[in-house]
Homo-oligomer: A and B are copies of this chain.
């Protein structure tokens, strides 16, 4: 029976659940974009964004989604014909690589499969082999939303340094910023891209490119950067209009202000800890179910699992069937499996994902898990007992 008539819960890996305060802040008349309160309000976002990114360097804000941020970042430092190295831990590594190709770059991919993070040593080996230093940048995805693999970015930097390769380290934190610990400067990241609709809890529509002075110098050496993508005037505007290369995204600015206020009020360390505990609760439940049934976390090693998104395997077609049940019977929308198709499962129906990024608390995650368990029961999918008890234990012990 359809038991969905209540507050729906969208637990996909982005867009995430929008806080009431964010939506309320966006429900307003348009402001003047040339003078007045919007100007100071926008400039006030900058230090807070940098705090979230762990950088004292630069940020350019783009009206756009994550793909826009990908292209923006590349457009500032990679010219046609130049080479990038892409260690891929899932679909989104390939996605960024395709954007690089679209800009005319040569791409060298190291594929770590669908169940492993980036292996820094193999990246280092590839760089070491590049004795001519043709590789201009390494494009790494911190958390690949498709596999939920989380890679060790600090280790990657160390490995790059160990072989003395000058390539830029460019990192996609779209699925991890504001969820998983990330420290741009401390970890030696040169360029980082993010977007509004995940850990930052704002509707899709803003992309962010953070970059340090080394990256800024590379951009200065570029023969040409398109006006719209050029990060220089955006990050160091002479006048406000340059910040967004034209009309400002007025309503998103108010939403982002509200979201950053929430982040500052909770504190970044607390936010990271909250995401970790909720992720551990999820893992505990799934592992209990998997004791006597087919459900598996896609990432075997907890050290390499995202705290913001979890990819799960249930076997085709059960992944999709379970998603349909939670949505059509219980009011819970889970994420589709992405980039996980195989010959035996061309549609990827064996996989599904939980998004648990940003505005998520214990009662939401426990509701998600208990609903999934109800679906397993309803669909007669075998599963071990004690899933919720295991999750409860994690949360109770926090």
Contact = CB atoms under 8 A, between A and B. Distances in A.
Nearest to A265: B5
A159 B243 CA distance: 38
Interface in A333-385: 333, 335-336, 359-364, 366-371, 373-375, 377-378, 385
Interface stretch (A99-107, A108-116, A131-139, A163-171): A99-107
Interface string A85-124: 0000000000000110111100000000000000000000
Can you tell how many copies of this chain the complex includes?
A: 4
A93 to B, nearest CB: 15
Contacts of A64: 62-64, 68, 228
Given A24-B27, A65-B244, A362-B371, A227 B389 contact: no
A157 interface: no
Interface in A280-331: 326, 329-331
3 closest cross-chain pairs (CB), A and B? A367-B367, A6-B361, A102-B227
Interface of A: 1-10, 12, 14-20, 23-24, 26-36, 62-68, 70-71, 75, 80, 98-99, 101-104, 195, 197, 203-205, 224-228, 230, 244-252, 262, 266, 270-271, 273-274, 277-278, 326, 329-333, 335-336, 359-364, 366-371, 373-375, 377-378, 385, 388-389, 391-393, 395-398
